[in-house]
Amino acid sequence: MRGYGMRSVGNIGWLEKERPVCGPLDAIVRPTIVAPCSSDVHVAHGGSGPKENLILGHEAVGIVEEVGPYVKRFKPGDLVAVPCVTPNWLSRGVQNFRSFSHDKGPFGSFKFVGEKDGVMAECFHVNQADPNLAHIHEGVAPEAALMTVDMMSTGFHGVELADVGIGEKVVVIGIGPIGLMAIAAAALRGASQIIGVGTRPNATRVALEYGASQVISYKDGPLDEQVFAMTRGKGAHKVIVAGGGPRELAQAVRMARPNGVVSNVNFFDVKDEISFDPLDWGLGMGDKDIRGSFCPGGGKRIQRLINMIEYKRIDPTKMISHRFHGLDAIPEAFALMDRKAPDLIKPIVYID
Amino acid sequence: MRGYGMRSVGNIGWLEKERPVCGPLDAIVRPTIVAPCSSDVHVAHGGSGPKENLILGHEAVGIVEEVGPYVKRFKPGDLVAVPCVTPNWLSRGVQNFRSFSHDKGPFGSFKFVGEKDGVMAECFHVNQADPNLAHIHEGVAPEAALMTVDMMSTGFHGVELADVGIGEKVVVIGIGPIGLMAIAAAALRGASQIIGVGTRPNATRVALEYGASQVISYKDGPLDEQVFAMTRGKGAHKVIVAGGGPRELAQAVRMARPNGVVSNVNFFDVKDEISFDPLDWGLGMGDKDIRGSFCPGGGKRIQRLINMIEYKRIDPTKMISHRFHGLDAIPEAFALMDRKAPDLIKPIVYID
Amino acid sequence: MRGYGMRSVGNIGWLEKERPVCGPLDAIVRPTIVAPCSSDVHVAHGGSGPKENLILGHEAVGIVEEVGPYVKRFKPGDLVAVPCVTPNWLSRGVQNFRSFSHDKGPFGSFKFVGEKDGVMAECFHVNQADPNLAHIHEGVAPEAALMTVDMMSTGFHGVELADVGIGEKVVVIGIGPIGLMAIAAAALRGASQIIGVGTRPNATRVALEYGASQVISYKDGPLDEQVFAMTRGKGAHKVIVAGGGPRELAQAVRMARPNGVVSNVNFFDVKDEISFDPLDWGLGMGDKDIRGSFCPGGGKRIQRLINMIEYKRIDPTKMISHRFHGLDAIPEAFALMDRKAPDLIKPIVYID
Amino acid sequence: MRGYGMRSVGNIGWLEKERPVCGPLDAIVRPTIVAPCSSDVHVAHGGSGPKENLILGHEAVGIVEEVGPYVKRFKPGDLVAVPCVTPNWLSRGVQNFRSFSHDKGPFGSFKFVGEKDGVMAECFHVNQADPNLAHIHEGVAPEAALMTVDMMSTGFHGVELADVGIGEKVVVIGIGPIGLMAIAAAALRGASQIIGVGTRPNATRVALEYGASQVISYKDGPLDEQVFAMTRGKGAHKVIVAGGGPRELAQAVRMARPNGVVSNVNFFDVKDEISFDPLDWGLGMGDKDIRGSFCPGGGKRIQRLINMIEYKRIDPTKMISHRFHGLDAIPEAFALMDRKAPDLIKPIVYID
């Protein structure tokens, strides 16, 4: 079976591997559309995760090819969205009421790329099909459903984690796909003023369509100063961090009001040192929560996001800036993501 | 001073009263737009509250005429929205984290009509101006701001109380102004399918504009049966009760899923007997919360709702079906509300 | 295999059945201590659940005899506590953040007695051992662990559901084992005044040991009047309903303050009509939540309760009023529960 | 009027000042017992707050001497506890549902020492008596009530902020009075294992009495390593930071599990740089909340804590290690606090 991935750190290309075996609770899925993601690029360059012989990709919709004998909700031929986070629901780690993402430790529920081959292949394995897959209803475009499995789920999660309330003022740092979905989610949770932070013209235009009141640039001075100027000196109720690095996180802490939340869904590198000024954090007593979380896992989450598309609450396909066709187009799409082309938001590849 | 109200139960007309006195923390406001509300009608007919010599009305925007010596945020000439619920912030009842509406017992924070003269007069008294008034920014239409002080605040509260989440399926029973705002709020909190319940053509049209997926009628069979049929037999995650009576509340309990919420913002009469079938409530163990709450109090709430208008997240003026001009037009507007004209949604009266 | 249960409604006795088969994710457990529960009695008399040929019992600790090939955390010989609620973790119903009890509809996660044979037998089947069993640490008495699987979990849940806060005044209606555990939990969540409601001397004594400030009787007048008299006329912040019927539920609604919660963990019969006076419920707007829930499911829950015993935060064995020995003693213990002997709190049977 | 405080930074002694004036909503209170606090010492040495001519002290119980004309709940002669945080309830800052501590910006509600003279004087001023004072019931020892106004309120708040749940494992860093109260609160919220961190023998003994399972020392190696060793390698569900500095905060982040919370109620200095390793924070996505908050404000809070003493849920007087008598003893008590005597926990001074 052919899959696109890393032979070793930085050595990216086609791999020939055995077709995965379907366990009794599992499914084998043939992807019909996939989308490379910046995390794939990160892994490919050794940023985290396995270091060799790994098929990349964790965003896919596809057709179920095979299911294990205990699978009840899905059967071969079903069109499904595959969450990028697929917990082991038999683990103890999911039995809490905060997150299903850490089934056996941090990010344990991130199986694709994290601990096994990803989805950019002729077919791929899904653990525990019943709880982890989601049907794509008729009337929902598969490419729209594809946007739910990571981008929409993670971006929305950033806003839910921040507990954005009616009429609140929200800053979203970063207008890549996650940031754009956070902007859309802030609007969908009832924010009033939504300030996006970014520079790319394409993404800026989409940010405004998704509900940003304004988009400001890192280049025009410290973000916190800009935000204070735009909020009558008061700062933001909630700040979603979907881009940037330690400096932007520190600015986020500064610009948050007392009783505010900084909600991070951005991946930090092991080499980043996270630090901030105690005064910005109210000397430890300013009631500014700092939260950081991972894309929620499981099929119900994705089903609910697909419902939002079905009922026309959001059109996530506005983010799709590039469309490719055929398995053989994956390298080109991946290269685009790798070099962060200036007009890029999200590329997708129709496999067939 | 002239005010429109009830001389005694059922005897409605103009009253001549002393101009109210401004306490040290208070304000006197001259209304520029008022809106009669069905609660005024309810009180006028003896349904609850004081029984004689009472100016009615609790929805107003206006100009501050006078403030007490300790008022800092407001001064004569300011254009303000006046929340229908104005807590005594020095009471102990506001020091909890659930609601500011019950300052000295149930509804204690409901001062207008509830315990003193209302707003349909040449001027009216506002207790504790600083915490209770809200400025209307330039660029926000006063008639839009008027919609926040009760209709939008209460309707939104129903949805917040139900804790409507991303992608959930929501039923809103009643499409009067509160129900319409609940529909808008359900969409603004990220619901997928939103089923409104009502019959009036005008209101149905506005319900669809505010985000209802469908509007069903009481006349087409039990609501719960209709809702089960529209949700693949599963029922609603959340049900907002903004109309109907005990029968509809019982149906709401039935149509809610386990882990669901029935959120009531509808006024029940003392003669109503609330009852439901234990099976519908999961024999007491079905994880179906039944909540009932009152419009939240205070100026910050209203300010945040006004922010939503400023940032164009909602246009509540779609609800305004009738506009009248001049203090003398109040009786006509009130009569319209009293007889529930079929094309009525919300009437407003421009005083000057 | 021998098991004690119902041949048909009301016809209770020993059944001879096939030894259960262990599925690939499951375990077979040999009980070492079991406790009959009033729900078993309820089922035996046809109150709910299957109607014939059913082994009863859903409270057990025991020794793992056999595990399926995919089970990792447990092996034959392990001493385990068996939650009375054992969800199917592969169902969609567990993927929400409120309760794991309704895996495929109301109470779906209640497998023992609810949909298959219970634990009062030579051995019994446990679905999904890994997520559903809990080890009993050395140093924790098995009979104490036995109390966690239903009594302690349900009683504590009533208090958690009510969101009892520091310094709040709490009423617990009913001082059977669930009510006693609710009293203990109210103390363990920081309540100040805790008023128990009941009459049995034995249970009253234990209620006071677990932290009740007072125990009042149904016989001394309406509960709400007694509670108002004991709380300076203000009522309770939170009311836990762990006994009584519709009348007591209505009294609970009345005695709760605005912003209060009535939390029901009591089983209502299909014939009970639940009703209350709208005035007691603040005319629908008094911010009195009415919640009703089921014992939470899964092994992590039980593990945390066992941790509480290990760290000496609670001694649930004070509830054990009768101890029997040998499988053959089950009928006697069951009969005691059936006739609600006056000095009964909780009987247990040591199988070996 | 005589008061003990700072003439200028580091210059501590008796000040002669005008008796404060009672505003219309306010009270003048004559302290009967006061307790110096480490924050007073911090301010005296210029760590934060006003820099000259300031009476210190923010923990007092006393007798109401005078009230303003609008005060209803209190009258001269009443014995009251005075919260260390007394919000301006007419400000907008209190109208949210997270904290009343930041009425006009960070710590705005901290009036004593923060913006006006403190309580270590012949009498002192209390803003807004009705919402801010709390009666001391008969049967509650005034010295016990004194412990509620800061120590108990802040320590308990740390635990509430961490959302400590039934059976969770909790670490409390620091066993000064705040840490001791956090240990007591962790037990009162249902924690199982509670690990205190500190070294002083006196405080260690009291920590164990309040419910610590163990007390570990900073001197025996990195705290996180000790905690992992004591929790089967898993870490703590919740970490309360009530002592230490940036290093301990970073260790707290490391020792928290995914879905855990680090809850800080410790004052950081402007010179401290807060920083931690991204890996310890799950690379930004590990679901470890970092919260930091201030003592909650208002009289209802304190009333509820006093209720806990009344109903014998806690005896905070175990913390009182030194008792002095007479206004003239304040310097000695203050000096004890300043030099952190090894056997010191909390000193109090009976004024009369």
Mean per-residue pLDDT pooled into runs of 10, chain D (352 residues): 95 97 98 95 85 95 98 98 98 88 89 95 98 96 98 98 98 98 98 98 98 97 97 97 96 96 94 92 95 95 98 98 97 93 95 86
Chain A CB contacts of C97 under 8 Å are 97-98
Considering only alpha carbons, which residue of chain D is nearest residue A234?
D105
Q: How many CA atoms lie within 13 Å of A52's alpha carbon, on the beta-carbon side?
A: 1
DSSP string computed for D171-214: EEE--SHHHHHHHHHHHHTT-S-EEEE---HHHHHHHHHHT-SE
Instruction: State the CB neighbour count (10 A cutoff) for residue D53.
Output: 12
A64 and A142, same domain (yes or no): yes
Q: What pLDDT is attached to residue B49?
A: 78
Give the mean model confidence (pLDDT) for residues B3-7: 96
Task: Report DSSP state, residue C188.
Answer: H
A119 and A241, same domain (yes or no): no
Tokens 């509960």 sit on residue: C223
Give the mean model confidence (pLDDT) for residues B48-60: 91
Q: Are strands C256-264 and C288-292 parallel, antiparallel or unpaired?
A: parallel
Backbone angles phi, psi at B336, to 5 degrees: -60, -45
Question: Which residue, D292, D318, D334, sits at the end of a domain?
Answer: D292
CA dist., res. A185 & res. A172, Å (int) = 10
Q: How many CA atoms lie within 13 Å of A158's alpha carbon, on the beta-carbon side?
A: 35
Instruction: Say if residues B155 and B296 touch (Cβ distance below 8 Å).
Output: no
DSSP string computed for A70-111: T--S--TT-EEEE-S----TTSGGG-SSS-SS-BTBTTTT--
D136 and D233, same domain (yes or no): no
C177 and C233, same domain (yes or no): yes
Instruction: Say if residues D131 and D299 touch (Cβ distance below 8 Å).
Output: yes
Please report whether residue C215 resides in a domain. Answer: yes
Which residues are bridge partners to D134 per DSSP?
Answer: D81
Res. A339: pLDDT tops 80 = yes
DSSP H/E element including D81:
strand D79-82
Res. B106: pLDDT tops 90 = no
Considering only alpha carbons, which residue of chain A is nearest residue B211?
A313
Please report whether residue C57 resides in a domain. Answer: yes
Res. B3: pLDDT tops 80 = yes
Give the mean model confidence (pLDDT) for residues A270-291: 93
Q: First vs last Cα of chain B: how many Å apart?
A: 16
Angle at D78 between CA D76 and CA D84, to 5 degrees: 105
Res. C270: pLDDT tops 90 = no
CB contact under 8 A, D269 and A283: yes
Q: What pLDDT is attached to residue D48?
A: 77
Q: What pLDDT is attached to residue B352?
A: 78
Give the mean model confidence (pLDDT) for residues C6-13: 94
DSSP H/E element including C63:
strand C60-67
Out of A50-54, B236-240, D318-322, least confident range: A50-54
Give the mean model confidence (pLDDT) for residues B218-226: 96
CA dist., res. C266 & res. C109, Å (int) = 17
B230 and B253, same domain (yes or no): yes
D191 and D94, same domain (yes or no): no
Strand order in the sheet with B11-16: B11-16, B2-8, B52-55
Quick check: D90 contacting B, CB < 8 Å?
yes
CB contact under 8 A, A25 and C90: yes
Res. C48: pLDDT tops 80 = no
C35 and C139, same domain (yes or no): yes
Is residue B167 very low, low, confident or very high in pLDDT (cuts 50, 70, 90)?
very high
- Tell me which residue range forms the domain holding A36: 2-152+295-350
A287 and A306, same domain (yes or no): no
Quick check: C93 contacting B, CB < 8 Å?
yes
Picking from C143, C133, C332, C319, the residue whose alpha carbon sits closest to that of residue C242 is: C319
Give the mean model confidence (pLDDT) for residues B179-196: 98
**Higher-confidence position of D17 and C271:** D17
Which amino acid type is present at position C347? P
Chains near D, with 3+ CB pairs < 8 A?
Answer: A, B, C
DSSP string computed for D292-350: E--PPPSHHHHHHHHHHHHTTS--GGGGEEEEEESGGGHHHHHHHHHTT-TT-SEEEEE
At B265 the three-state DSSP class reads: coil
Give the mean model confidence (pLDDT) for residues C174-180: 98
D142 and D245, same domain (yes or no): no
Residue of C100, C287, C291 to mutate, testing the B interface (most B Cβ within 10 Å of its Cβ): C287
Give the mean model confidence (pLDDT) for residues B251-276: 94
Give the mean model confidence (pLDDT) for residues A291-299: 95
B147 and B177, same domain (yes or no): no
Q: Tell me, what CATH number does C330's domain have?
A: 3.90.180.10
Is residue C146 very low, low, confident or very high in pLDDT (cuts 50, 70, 90)?
very high
Res. A302: pLDDT tops 80 = yes
Quick check: C83 contacting A, CB < 8 Å?
no
CA dist., res. D150 & res. A261, Å (int) = 25
Angle at B235 between CA B232 and CA B239, to 5 degrees: 145
Helix intervals (H) in A198-317: 201-209, 223-230, 246-255, 299-310
Q: What pLDDT is attached to residue D54?
A: 96
Q: What pLDDT is attached to residue C96?
A: 86
CA dist., res. C347 & res. C177, Å (int) = 10
CB contact under 8 A, C287 and B105: no
CA dist., res. B343 & res. B285, Å (int) = 43
A277 to chain C, minimum CA–CA distance in Å? 33
Percent of chain A with pLDDT over 90: 89
Quick check: C167 contacting B, CB < 8 Å?
no
CA dist., res. A165 & res. A155, Å (int) = 16
Q: Tell me, what CATH number does D162's domain have?
A: 3.40.50.720
CB contact under 8 A, A188 and B192: no
DSSP H/E element including A275:
strand A274-276
B35 to chain D, minimum CA–CA distance in Å? 26
Q: What pLDDT is attached to residue D98?
A: 82
Strand order in the sheet with D52-55: D11-16, D2-8, D52-55
DSSP string computed for A166-197: TT--EEEE--SHHHHHHHHHHHHTT-S-EEEE
Integer-rounded Cα Rg, in Å, for chain B is 20
C343 to chain B, minimum CA–CA distance in Å? 27
For chains B and D, CB pairs below 8 A equal 56
Q: Is B322 left (phi over 0), alpha (psi -120 to 50) or beta?
A: beta
Helix intervals (H) in A197-298: 201-209, 223-230, 246-255
D49 and D68, same domain (yes or no): yes
Average pLDDT, chain C: 96
Question: Which residue, B292, B310, B339, sits at the end of a domain?
Answer: B292
Q: What pLDDT is attached to residue A230?
A: 97
The pair of structure tokens assigned to A215 is 């988009």
Picking from C43, C3, C40, the residue whose alpha carbon sits closest to that of residue C19 is: C3
Chain D CB contacts of B25 under 8 Å are 90
Is pTM beyond 0.95? Reply is yes
With a CB cutoff of 8 Å and minimum separation 6, the contacts of C165 are C189, C190, C237, D160, D304
D9 to chain C, minimum CA–CA distance in Å? 38
Is residue A158 very low, low, confident or very high in pLDDT (cuts 50, 70, 90)?
very high
Res. A18: pLDDT tops 80 = yes
Chains near A, with 3+ CB pairs < 8 A?
Answer: B, C, D
Out of B46-50, C151-155, C193-197, D275-279, least confident range: B46-50
Q: Are strands A274-276 and D274-276 parallel, antiparallel or unpaired?
A: antiparallel
CA dist., res. B343 & res. C9, Å (int) = 58
Res. A97: pLDDT tops 90 = no
Q: What pLDDT is attached to residue B46?
A: 86
Please report whether residue C158 resides in a domain. Answer: no
From C169, C188, C306, residue closest to D190, measured CB to CB: C188
Quick check: C97 contacting A, CB < 8 Å?
yes
In residues, how long is chain B? 352
- Give the model confidence (pLDDT) of A315-332 as tens digits: 999 999 999 999 999 999
Q: What pLDDT is attached to residue A151?
A: 98
Which residues are bridge partners to B109 per DSSP?
Answer: none
With a CB cutoff of 8 Å and minimum separation 6, the contacts of D312 are none
B148 and B6, same domain (yes or no): yes
DSSP string computed for C323-344: EEESGGGHHHHHHHHHTT-TT-
Question: Which residue, C292, C310, C326, sits at the end of a domain?
Answer: C292
Q: What pLDDT is attached to residue A106?
A: 85
Instruction: Say if residues C294 and C303 touch (Cβ distance below 8 Å).
Output: no
- Give the model confidence (pLDDT) of B309-342 as tens digits: 999 999 999 999 999 999 999 999 999 999 988 8
CA dist., res. A335 & res. A125, Å (int) = 25
C228 to chain D, minimum CA–CA distance in Å? 17
Chain C CB contacts of D188 under 8 Å are 166, 188-190
Res. B107: pLDDT tops 90 = no
Q: Are strands B2-8 and B27-34 parallel, antiparallel or unpaired?
A: unpaired
Integer-rounded Cα Rg, in Å, for chain D is 20
Residue of C183, C257, C313, C314 to mutate, testing the D interface (most D Cβ within 10 Å of its Cβ): C313
Quick check: A213 contacting B, CB < 8 Å?
yes
Q: How many domains would you assign to chain C? A: 2
Chain C CB contacts of D182 under 8 Å are none
- Give the model confidence (pLDDT) of C235-244 as tens digits: 999 999 999 9
